Structure 1
Amino acid sequence: MFGGSRWQSMSKAQVQMVALTSIIALFGAVWMATSQPQEQSCCRCFPGDDCWPSPEEWNGFNETISGGLIATVPIASPCHDGFPGVEYDAEKCADIQANWARPSLHFASTHSTMASFFANLSCDPFTPRDSPCVAGAYVSYAVNASGVSEYRETVAFAKKHNIRLVIRNTGHDYMGKSTGAGALALWTHNIKALSVLDYTSPAYAGKAMKIGAGVQASEAQALAKANGLVVVEGDCPSVGIAGGYTQGGGTSPLASKFGLAADQVLEWEVLTGKGEFLTATPTQNSDLYWALCGGGGGTYGVVLSMTVKLHQDQPTAGATLSFAESSDVVYWNLVRSFLMNLPAILDAGATVYFQFLPGNTFSLPQSYFLGGTAEDLEHLFQPTIQALNQSGIPYTWNSSDFPAFRDAFDTLNPEMDIFEFNLGGRLIPRSLVLSEGSATSLVSAIKSIVAQGGIVAAVAMDVSRPPTFPNSVHPLWRESVFMTFLGTMYDRLNMTNNIIDQRKVTHVFDPALEELTPGGAAYLNEADIHQPDWQNVFYGANYPRLAAIKKAYDPDGIFWGPTAVGSEGWSVSGDGRLCKTPT
């Protein structure tokens, strides 16, 4: 259709426009042929509905955003026959399958979610060649945003045409907020502005970092390290740092030293559902600032940037520990000793990651102690090490000194592949590990989960100190000793198994810990998507105020995500469209 000379003579924006026009026309015909035209006034408009924008309207919108509209072509489409404009390619498919667990394959796309459960086999590289490959549960289009103009135009277009709107950066998302059938995604991934500042406000003066909406943790930490500083980030280096991670609270290897990611925020730049571009700080639009700092992402507005406190980098110690034991009594007594050892470790400023695996196997693959030494860590873990020595079972303990935090992080966490999981979780209060009796009850609950085929993993942090500025993080974070996430491994080949296992998480695994923590909490970024009473479990007493702020800044409800504040007014129907919940 297009000769090489024509491509070369056109600008990048013109090339994108011509290519998109062709894709829109082709996809439009397919949608009209395959979708049921069941437009409903109580639902968001869906491909195939009469209200769905025409190719001319999509092209007109594309012009307003300088050619930044991208139609979804599933990244696994070369593994199948039948997706419009894509041919089966065995070599490409093999490469996609080999790299499916790599975050980079997904975060470079506009649509692919790393939690395969939410793709619902729409176009899966591991299903047979003749299996369906459709946009399905993926977004239909995405806007490659570069700034406020694209934000504003996208929100306005979604409102005008009553289209479901999704906010997406990398696709790191256990809760299904960054995808949606028939949705238009505001893709923030290429907003990479990043700078170190000398920041001054009435409550804070010091080094800070302004972080664009598309910046990933590794990018922010690299700039911080170059300046002799650290930024509070998560465990996975490819996670977007200014999105749902920080807005949902944000666990971190540095949390015992500095608190949660939400505790670091000095200000936000955000476009609200009303189309207003605002700066939110503890003193300016302070209600919006409060909500964004821990009240969940993608519901009050779409963030363009955040500015956070930086901290001095220091030599960092790290340690690992593993052991296994066939005797239930010996193994779980050792686990209890370890759990009761945690408060002293955390109080000193260390953060610890650990797992309880089938076969009475314990693994502690990461621990970090900024400003500490290997000798300090060995001293802090001494009650656990002593219990292991007394038991006589073999174990592996290693501790090391590193010149800076990033050196420890890169060594202990060299490559973070996608962890596909049927997920649940709970915050465990410190009170449960302070006495032998309560610790024994906690061990029994964990043991029951593992005995039924579950895996229990945890991040232990001391985030008890109040933040510099009040925020909407669930108050029970301040009483926690660790955050646990639990469940079973995702089955790539059998969606029925995943549905059964997710129900098991909801009705068996989570309740084992909920019984010990009545009225308790879970981390809203890593939890059960079907969590009962999620408003209280994820947001606690903050929920009524958060709901009021949501209504004030997004009165039309254009921003929506599962379990996000205000989301109970809508639900996903059987065909994937988003509809108002009957009252």
Structure 2
Amino acid sequence: MRQLTLCTLLFALGVSIAAGLDCRCFPGDDCWPSWQQWADFNATIGGRLISTVPLGSVCHTTGEFSAYNQEACASLIADWGFPATHYKTCDSPMASWFSNASCDPFLPRTTPCTITALQRYAVNVSKVDDVQKTIQFAQDHNIRLVIRNTGHDYLGKSTAPGGLALWMHNLKATEYLQYRSCSYEGPALRLGAGIQGFEGMAAAHAQNKVILTGNCDSVGVVGGYSQGGGHGQLASMVGLAADQVLEWEVVTADGQHLTAAPDMNPDLFWALSGGGGGTYAVVMSATVKAYAEVSTASANLTFSGADVPPDVFWSIIRNFIVDITPIIDAGAVAIWAVIGKTFSLTPIIWPGGNVDELQMRLASTLRMLNERNMTYAFHIQHFVSFWDCFMAMNPHSNITEAQIGGRLMPRGVLDHSTDSLISTLRQISEQGAVVSGVSLNVSRHSVPDNAVNPAWRDAAISIVLGTSYNYTNRQVNVECQSLMTQELVPLLTDISIDSGAYLNEADWKQPDWQSAFYGDNYQTLHEIKEEFDPNGVFWARTAVGSEAWTELDDGHLCRSDDL
């Protein structure tokens, strides 16, 4: 409380809260590099430095970055929900919370367009040398450094107020190879750090192979997705994305260009494989397992509970979740959501499965719908390949604006406390939150030794909650975020005390994030962080070691010991 009072006093006096503290250099500070120093740095990297101009600048008439254009603004607002609008930039986060309404196209045009919440510069990385020189420049000038690919990021890990970003998005090389090591021999793909799901899948498809990617096909494969665990529609067949990685090509905080594999830098390999992105090293590429194409059975289902009592609606949802368990254990993945009084399955995918057995596992749910004369939409189909199935059945995903939180629901809860699970999901839904789930089993086969949160190995459902986002009222968003942290996620935690959360799809204000996101691995991960990045060159919210620093309200990143 004493520190809070001091902070308030400093703000009142117009004095920078970071004065005299051990903080990263921030625009406006005396230590900030001059224009000439930035220009000289740009020359060393072949002119690949990009000065940030917020996307929303075309919608504002005031502020340092205003560049109002009525037609361009209307086009931006129309396209705002599409991932490409953001991933084609080096700065715009898809989770609008982390732009902090600094240059929001939805606010009145007279609202000042500022850049406070975003990084000031980014380097469009093309090669290892770009990364090495950027790391050195950031350390020489004590500048906050962040790693960014697409901006698919619910926890703000790739957004660095006042910082410098390594933009990995244009590292698009792919290579198919027959990989041989002491632990694996077989087909593999080497993917550049900028490869997205649709690109990685296409590269595999060209070889009549498949690889694990995210449900949203524009998510980057190599970055935080795989480094944080990563699930997808093949996960019950092959495991998590972190389980697929055979080696990582990285640049460390001291500029070394290394390969991390089970037999080369094994500690770093272990940490990168599930221990979270953006904190141990800069990943240039990853080599992942590829698998033979497989015929696939799939179905989708949508129904409304608007015309039946809530008890009936939720009893059907209960039946669905329980009855699909045997085919989940046989390799299927089900992606489902409850939004108000509507349930949607989009879709269930069973690589190697057959339509008749899939139909049988959904028959009791369909029968309950028919007995109540409920209207529903249902489609089931056999595909000759997983690729064909994914292209036909996987809906295009737009950006997620919601405040989110999540929990990995253990198999024991599903098997033995089903009523508690369903009543909890119903309670959350009736408070206005979206409830989404991915039913899966990522431990059907042998599990590799990596840093994946141990809670994943017993998970039956990855549950993600969402509360609404308001583009014009920050206070409403603060309240929705508070509801997530203080009420909704704790309801899930109460019925899964010994579990955890998926660190890529979770509440960024999770109070016990070290244990929730990393489990018993945290101490070992912290030791590896200290070994490879003792000076905290890489920092990201809720990443391992991030508690050593605190992000202040004005954007400064300062040593926690000084606060």
Q: Pick the TM interval, shorter chain.
A: over 0.9
Match of 2:507 among 528, 543, 564: 528
Within-5 A mapping of 1:173-322: 173-322=153-302
3-state SS of the aligned residue for 1:434? Answer: helix
Match of 1:350 among 332, 340, 346: 332
Match of 2:115 among 123, 126, 135: 135
State the match for 2:6 in structure 1: none
State the match for 1:417 in structure 2: 398
Match of 1:454 among 405, 430, 433: 433
Match of 2:347 among 334, 359, 366: 366
Match of 1:428 among 394, 405, 409: 409
3-state SS of the aligned residue for 1:127? Answer: coil
Residues 1:379 and 2:360 aligned together: yes
Q: Please tell me whether the aligned partners of residues 270 and 449 of structure 2 are also in contact (alpha carbons under 8 angstroms).
A: yes
Question: Cα deviations across residues 42-79 of structure 1 (Å, max 9, x unaligned)?
Answer: 11100000000001110111011110100001111111
Distance change (3 Å), C-alpha of 1:365 and 1:120: same
Q: Could you tell me which amino acid in structure 1 is paired with residue 432 of structure 2?
A: G
Could you tell which deviates more after superposition, 120-129 or 74-83? 74-83
Give 1:207 deviation, angstroms.
Answer: 0.5
Match of 2:482 among 481, 494, 503: 503
CA–CA separation in structure 2 for the residues paired with 1:429 and 1:568? 28
Question: Cα deviations across residues 429-448 of structure 1 (Å, max 9, x unaligned)?
Answer: 1111214xx11111110111
Match of 2:495 among 505, 516, 541: 516
Match of 1:547 among 526, 541, 546: 526
Give 1:477 deviation, angstroms.
Answer: 0.5
CA–CA separation in structure 1 for the residues paired with 2:47 and 2:17? 29
Q: Could you tell me which amino acid in structure 1 is paired with residue 349 of structure 2?
A: Y
3-state SS of the aligned residue for 1:381? Answer: helix
CA–CA separation in structure 2 for the residues paired with 1:279 and 1:507? 42
Q: Could you tell me which amino acid in structure 1 is paired with residue 324 of structure 2?
A: L
CA–CA separation in structure 2 for the residues paired with 1:241 and 1:342? 28
Question: Cα deviations across residues 230-285 of structure 1 (Å, max 9, x unaligned)?
Answer: 01000111111100000000010110111110010000001111221110001110
Give 1:483 deviation, angstroms.
Answer: 0.2
CA–CA separation in structure 1 for the residues paired with 2:16 and 2:375? 63
Match of 2:151 among 171, 176, 179: 171
State the match for 2:516 in structure 1: 537
Q: Please tell me whether the aligned partners of residues 455 and 488 of structure 1 are also in contact (alpha carbons under 8 angstroms).
A: yes
3-state SS of the aligned residue for 1:111? Answer: coil
Q: Could you tell me which amino acid in structure 1 is paired with residue 386 of structure 2?
A: F
State the match for 1:471 in structure 2: 450
**Runs of 5+ consecutive residues of structure 1 not aligned to the other structure:** 1-33
Question: Cα deviations across residues 434-463 of structure 1 (Å, max 9, x unaligned)?
Answer: 14xx11111110111011111100111110
3-state SS of the aligned residue for 1:136? Answer: coil
The size of the alignment, in residue pairs, is 547
Q: Could you tell me which amino acid in structure 1 is paired with residue 204 of structure 2?
A: A
Q: Please tell me whether the aligned partners of residues 274 and 555 of structure 1 are also in contact (alpha carbons under 8 angstroms).
A: no
3-state SS of the aligned residue for 2:314? Answer: helix
Give 1:363 deviation, angstroms.
Answer: 1.1
Give 1:389 deviation, angstroms.
Answer: 4.1
Could you tell which deviates more after superposition, 332-341 or 97-106? 332-341
Q: Could you tell me which amino acid in structure 1 is paired with residue 162 of structure 2?
A: G
Q: Please tell me whether the aligned partners of residues 425 and 435 of structure 2 are also in contact (alpha carbons under 8 angstroms).
A: yes
Give 1:383 deviation, angstroms.
Answer: 3.7
Q: Could you tell me which amino acid in structure 2 is paired with residue 196 of structure 1?
A: Y
Question: Cα deviations across residues 13-35 of structure 1 (Å, max 9, x unaligned)?
Answer: xxxxxxxxxxxxxxxxxxxxx99
Match of 1:162 among 126, 142, 163: 142
3-state SS of the aligned residue for 2:561? Answer: coil
Residues 1:406 and 2:391 aligned together: no
CA–CA separation in structure 2 for the residues paired with 1:424 and 1:462? 21
CA–CA separation in structure 1 for the residues paired with 2:443 and 2:104? 43
Match of 1:329 among 311, 335, 347: 311
Give 1:36 deviation, angstroms.
Answer: 6.1
Question: Cα deviations across residues 380-406 of structure 1 (Å, max 9, x unaligned)?
Answer: 323433444444533332101223212
Give 1:187 deviation, angstroms.
Answer: 0.4
State the match for 2:133 in structure 1: 153
State the match for 1:116 in structure 2: 96
State the match for 2:11 in structure 1: none
3-state SS of the aligned residue for 1:543? Answer: helix
Question: Cα deviations across residues 145-196 of structure 1 (Å, max 9, x unaligned)?
Answer: 1111011001111111110001001111001001111010000011111111
CA RMSD in angstroms comes to 1.6
Q: Please tell me whether the aligned partners of residues 270 and 303 of structure 1 are also in contact (alpha carbons under 8 angstroms).
A: yes
Question: Cα deviations across residues 267-312 of structure 1 (Å, max 9, x unaligned)?
Answer: 0001111221110001110010000000000000010000000011
Q: Could you tell me which amino acid in structure 1 is paired with residue 538 of structure 2?
A: F
TM norm structure 1: 0.91
Distance change (3 Å), C-alpha of 1:86 and 1:532: closer
Q: Please tell me whether the aligned partners of residues 37 and 50 of structure 1 are also in contact (alpha carbons under 8 angstroms).
A: no
Could you tell which deviates more after superposition, 537-546 or 405-414? 405-414
CA–CA separation in structure 1 for the residues paired with 2:252 and 2:79? 37
Percent same amino acid among aligned pairs?
47
CA–CA separation in structure 1 for the residues paired with 2:15 and 2:44? 28
CA–CA separation in structure 1 for the residues paired with 2:356 and 2:321? 20
